[in-house]
Amino acid sequence: MRLISPLDYLFLALEAREHPMHVGGLELFRPPDGDGHGFARQLHVSLVRAPEIATTFTRHPGAAGASPRMLTWAVDTEIDLDYHVRLGALPRPGRIRELLEMTSMWHSTLLDRHRPLWEMHIVEGLEDGRVAVYTKIHHALVDGVSALRLLQDSLSSDPDERQLPAPFAPRPPTGHANYSAPSMPLLRSALGLGGDVAGMLPATARLGWRVARKRGMPLPMTAPRTIFNVPIGGARRFAAQSWSIDRIRSVREALGCTINDVVLGMCGGALRRYLIEQDALPDAPLIALVPVSLHSLTGTRSGNAVTAVLASLGTDHADPLDRMAAITLSIGKAKEMMAGLTPTQAIAVAASFLSPFVASSVSGFSQHAWPTFNVVISNVPGPRAPLYLNGARLEGIYPASIVMDGLALNITLTSNADTLDFGLTGCRRSVPHLQRLLAHLDASLEELEHASGCVIAERG
């Protein structure tokens, strides 16, 4: 018997039908011989026959519900891999649209607490012969960044490698051990893929507020109310698409900003279009919570530590260059203010941004809380070179994240060799037509390409 850590306990205790607390990821693979069916079936067979399972993937709460017994982890000694690893198929014609609809459903349902808290869905039937894998794991077992890392670590840069371990297999400790430094669970949980409950620790948040005030940082209450900042339901929509990093790099070079600035520009333009379409664009610009690495702020080596800044998305500007200017100015200011902080202070400031959401999750009074920010936009580093699963190229790795009361939309992206792979997770009720944001992101990038006059070599 093993005690559940207080933070993980909170992830379990806060979970409700309308607040699933699992993170997910959708991966797309192109089988070497184009035989999606054979590849999917073989993958399924090899995974359900996996000889060993890492402890993390054997755990579930000792008892269901928020009882004192939930403070312990139970270990499932007879894991039914047929239950955890499922083989499914898309209805014809098997487009990405059908895949996203199916993923949305999987991402909406709660994990069964009587079983280890994870599921994998292998999906055949994509019209182009690719195979999709949607993985879902409870945040109490592993945070989103680590989940992404686990998936990546089960792949190979060698297309001929065939003896890959299951993502849930035990493995030797890697160089990522510093992920488990004391302050890490807090901020990774909050900023990695979720932006959810870091503010849980009130003392941290209180410290953060003081630091923020002393440094004259823009306090919360400046974000407008939007349709995203409402109580949520339990159903989700998930949308995903890749964009060529070269396209984004060209804009970055033309404008002299960072990749992340261009990403925020894409998002700002897309959200503006979306909100106009919904007749719901506020006058004031939307504010995004943007995780940034401490390393990039301080220039010092500080492991994988991340904090977060608040940035304007310039949604009040119709002109894309005005919008980019507002974004770079805003994020520059925010980073500057963070720059002189110690890592602990920087983390505390990020926690303070989140604390109102945590308070509302606990009290249920989110409808009366003013939003600190409107949306989380998180860029998680992914594989730099192409990866393969039994010879099948990983063509997309799209994070599916957690949304919560007051934060009905989450945009998380990850770099994958030569693409940026966006995963959009929204409350199905509060964020209608989520998939339109994909078209808007694309239109927004094109707009930036035109406005910045950059060479557009890869456009097709």
Query: What's the CA gap between 272 and 13, in Å, rounded?
Result: 36
If the CB atoms of residues 102 and 387 are measured against a second copy, the closer one turns out to be 102
Compute φ and ψ for 320, nearest 5 degrees: -65, -35
Q: Shortest approach of a second copy to residue 78 CB, angstroms? A: 9
If the CB atoms of residues 131 and 375 are measured against a second copy, the closer one turns out to be 131
Q: What amino acid is encoded at 198 in this protein? A: A
List residues near a second copy by CB under 8 A: 16-18, 37, 40-41, 64-65, 80, 82-83, 86-92, 98, 101-102, 105, 108-110, 112-115, 124-125, 233-235, 428-429
Q: How far is CA 226 from CA 55, 218, 281, 331, 407, in A?
A: 42, 19, 8, 21, 10
If the CB atoms of residues 28 and 309 are measured against a second copy, the closer one turns out to be 28
If the CB atoms of residues 20 and 269 are measured against a second copy, the closer one turns out to be 20
Query: What's the CA gap between 193 and 377, in Å, rounded?
Result: 9
Query: What's the CA gap between 230 and 320, in Å, rounded?
Result: 28
Query: What's the CA gap between 433 and 402, in Å, rounded?
Result: 18
Q: Shortest approach of a second copy to residue 122 CB, angstroms? A: 8
Torsion angle, alpha carbons of 165, 167, 171, 174, to 10: 120
Q: Shortest approach of a second copy to residue 231 CB, angstroms? A: 10
Query: What's the CA gap between 409 and 192, in Å, rounded?
Result: 15
* Helix, strand, coil content of the chain in percent (nearest 5): 40, 20, 40
Q: What amino acid is encoded at 273 in this protein? A: R
Give strand ranges (E) for 31-154: 59-61, 72-75, 85-89, 118-124, 131-138
Q: Shortest approach of a second copy to residue 105 CB, angstroms? A: 7
Q: How far is CA 34 from CA 29, 43, 123, 146, 164, in A?
A: 10, 14, 14, 30, 20
If the CB atoms of residues 155 and 427 are measured against a second copy, the closer one turns out to be 427
Query: What's the CA gap between 117 and 8, in Å, rounded?
Result: 12
**Residue 44 falls in the annotated catalytic set:** no
Q: Shortest approach of a second copy to residue 305 CB, angstroms? A: 36
Question: Which one-letter DSSP state was computed for residue 16?
Answer: B
If the CB atoms of residues 48 and 456 are measured against a second copy, the closer one turns out to be 48
- Nearest Cα to Cα of residue 47 among 130, 134, 120: 120
Q: Which of 84, 107, 138, 139 is catalytic?
A: 139
If the CB atoms of residues 124 and 449 are measured against a second copy, the closer one turns out to be 124
Q: Shortest approach of a second copy to residue 90 CB, angstroms? A: 6
On the CB side of 316, CA atoms within 13 Å amount to 12
Q: Shortest approach of a second copy to residue 64 CB, angstroms? A: 5
- CB 71 within 8 Å of CB 3: yes
Residues labelled as active-site residues: 139
